[in-house]
Amino acid sequence: MGRNQRAIYGADTWHVDDGVGTDGGPPSNKPFVRRSFSPEYKLSILAEYDRCSEAGEKGAILRREGLYSSLITDWRRQHRQGLLKAAVGRADGGRGGPSYGETLKLRDEVAYLRTKLAQAEAIIEVQGKVHALLEEISKSAASDNVLPRSWTGPWTSSHPSSDGDEPAK
């Protein structure tokens, strides 16, 4: 190994200080600050990312926001596990989907509407059974051609006409 190779491979760090920063400008002496993301931001990015349908849209979002796809994967896992929730009482008009309060209200409404739907289905089922029963009674009465005594009225031949053609007895 030559002297230059020994200097390179024996170095404690692989960083080369060439006087140029990562952005092409002068080097910065500021310490690196890790970005942190609020739950609302994460949820809004997830919602926007999931709405993407055309090729390249997801990559465009990641580039625009300066994110990696691994963050999206982590955020999805957090959301699935219930660790990622929007702040309670968030103001309307914020980024992303509905607030936590709105979500609770909508869940209550869905539960109420499901109960009403079950009631309506039960009523429709009973109406269908009543209809079938009345149809069966009608068919048996028509085949017998005899109406029960309590069903007599102006439409039956056993009842005198009330239109004045025959005198009432």
Please name the residues in contact with 72: beta carbons below 8 A apart, sequence gap of 6 or more: 45, 46, 49, 62
- List the structure tokens of 6: 């020994």
Half-sphere exposure of 6 (CA within 13 A, CB side): 3
* Bigger pLDDT: 70 vs 17: 70
| Interior angle at CA 14, CA 11 and CA 15, nearest 5 | 115
CA 113 – CA 18 distance, rounded (Å):
67
Neighbouring C-beta atoms of residue 90, cutoff 10 Å? 17
Residue-wise pLDDT for 76-109, tens only, equals 999 988 888 776 555 544 556 677 788 889 999 9
Residue-wise pLDDT for 143-168, tens only, equals 766 555 666 666 555 555 555 555 55
Residue labelled with tokens 């699935």: 80
CA 42 – CA 96 distance, rounded (Å):
9
pLDDT for 112: 96
